[in-house]
Each structure stands twice: as C-alpha cells, then as structure tokens.
Amino acid sequence: MADLSVELAVLAGFATDLAELKSCSISNTSHLLPAVALPTGSTGLMAALEASIERFGNEVGAALDAEITTIGNLCTSLTTTAASFESTDEAISANISNAGSDLSPAGTQSTSAASQGVSRFSALQLPSLPGVSDNPYTLRQLVETAIGLLAVYDDRLNAAIGIRPTVDLLSPLVADWESLQPIGKRIALLGINDYVTSENLINGTNWLQDSWSGEAARNFAERSNNLGQAVGARSLDFDAVSKIVENGGAYLERMVYNQVADICDKVLHPMTLYGATFPLGAWAPHINNPIREPHKSELLAALNALESSITLRQGQIQTMVDKLSAALDYVPGRSIPTFISTEFDLPDKITIDLGARKFGYGDNMWWEDRIDSLF
C-alpha cells in the first residue's frame, strides 16, 4: 500500500506540473507569437518578408496548438490513471474491512492522493517571458524624402544607364526596416519557451518513471518524450532563425541607409562642364551626345561609379531578404537553418558631404540642394 500511495502522489503531482506547464506556455506564446508580425501596409521588398513572416506565424501557431493539446492529453492521462488506482485501492480496502480485518481503526490509513498530498517535480521551470518593444521607425521617412528629392532625375538617368533610381531602387525600399530586429528577439524568446517546455517534459518524465512502472507508464513516457524531443528540435530551429532575422535586420537597416546616402550623394554630385555646374543626374543624358574630352570621360566615370555601386548594393539587399525569407519558411521537422555570423557583418556607414550643393553658370548660382536634413 505504501508504494501505491507514493505512486498516486507522484501521478497527481506531475499532472499538476503539466497543467501549470501548459498554462505557462500559453501565457508566453499568446503575447509573443502575435507580435511576430510586420507593420501593416508593407510594400516592395518588405512585402515578400511580410508573406514569409505570416506563413511562419501560421505554421508555428498550428504546431503550438497541437503541442498544447498533447500536453493537456498527457495531464488527463495521469489524472485518469491516478483516479483508477485510487478507486481500485479503495475497493480493496473496503473488501478487507468487510472481511473483518484485524487492523484497529487508529491504524487504518487512507491511500488516496487527496489524503497523501502530491509530490511535485522540483526542477519544473515556469518562466514568465517578457515582451520586446519596437524600435523607432526612421528609415521609411528617409527613403520617401530621398524619392521626392531625386525623382526629377529618373528619366535622365534612365536614358544614360537604364536605371531610374527612385522607381527601380528606392521605392522597393520604402518600409519600416527597424521592425525586423525586434521580431528576431521575439522568435528567440519563443525558442526559449520551447527549450523550457522540452526540458520540463523530458526531465519530468524521467523523474516520474522512478515511481511509476508498467505498460501504461511506458506508453506515457513514449508520448511525453516524443513531444519533448520535437519541441526541443523546434527550439534549436528558432535559435537559428532568431539570429538570422535579428542580425539580418540590422544588416538591412545599414544597407538601406547606405543605399539612400550613396544615391543622393552621387546623383546630386556637382559636375562642371563648359562652365556650367549641375548635378550628375542633370548631365546624365548628355553622355549619349558628342562631348569633348576630358568632360566625356569624367561624366562616363561618374555614371559608371553610380551604376556599379547602387546595383551591387541592391543585389546584396535582395540576397539578405531572400535569406530571411528562407529562414522563416518553417515547417515542423525541417533541416535547421544555418547561421553564419560573418554573412551578417555590418558594412561601414557611408559618410557623405552634407554641405550645400550649389548649381549654376559661372559665378551665378541658380539653386542649391541640401541633404543635411535627410541624414
């Protein structure tokens, strides 16, 4: 009877542990997962990431729902098993009493879980995970302001190098890129929640097996350990995804800033030809006209430098967006994404001349452009 009493206390205790584990997981994921989302109205390159993040949330949400259901079933299984043992024990005790047992009333001892209390898993972890605040959004306004400043040169540059900087390069970058780093941190916390859940299930089940044996115990352990291993694998996946998204977000912030700064600097770069000083963007279509040297070579070099730097950087931005999209393409049991820190090294922040850029003919200034307010 003493062994049976201990088993009942352990079964009842771990059932309580599982119920609290379930509540803890729901509490953490209910505020973290909905926050794994981009601001509404994302366009351009960010729209592709928005679709990936939405799919991520749907897949993870479905997996979490199934996990919570399984934990609830495990809890019910323990409660039902404990009740079954208790009913059997009480029936046996009643039969012994009716048969005229020699035990005195003072020596009679109830073996129910209620009378014996519960034995809890002492290593149970129930963390209350915090939320993650958003960062200030400034890049969207920077890009939009640059578009307003440079749009007048689009057709001219398109005639020269086949690129409309504001339409082809800047418009796809209008987005709140600062939202990605907090999303990465929230995914990291979801991974921590999974890790704790996995540890609780596997270690708690091992502890339970010290006091419960038999076919039912083996079946319970198999289900609990399988769930713990699956959740543990997901925690490793989320650890990699969180690093990719957070570091990728920082990389994209820097690259978008640099792209805007570089385009503004080069398109508005003052060039003097035939005594007239105008921005490169204004001179651009004249590359197709007869121009004396060294003016033609100077103009061609400036256009080539503009084209090569901004197309290279736009390709690097696209590559990083694709990398984040692939990492966020979560399905249970997939190969864990690989985080290679060197792929996310931040490029140096571009520094440009923020002074007034004066344009006109000879000593006569016709207008000036200022970009210091942008940066």
- Local structure of residue 153 (DSSP, 8 states): G
Please give the Cα distance from 28 to 128 (Å, whole number). 7
Mean pLDDT of the chain: 90
In sequence order, which ranges of 173-294 are alpha helices (DSSP H)? 180-209, 215-267, 280-283
C-alpha span between 60 and 331 (Å, rounded): 8
227-285 pLDDT, tens digit each: 999 999 999 999 999 999 999 999 999 999 999 999 999 999 999 998 999 999 999 99
More confident residue, 100 or 362: 362
Structural domain spans, the chain:
2-95+132-369
Q: What is the pLDDT of residues 160-195, one digit of tens each?
A: 999 999 999 999 999 999 999 999 999 999 999 999
Rounded to two decimals, the pTM is 0.89
**Sign of the torsion formed by the C-alpha atoms of 241, 247, 253 and 259:** negative
What string of DSSP letters covers 36-90? SSPPTT--HHHHHHHHHHHHHHHHHHHHHHHHHHHHHHHHHHHHHHHHHHHHHHH
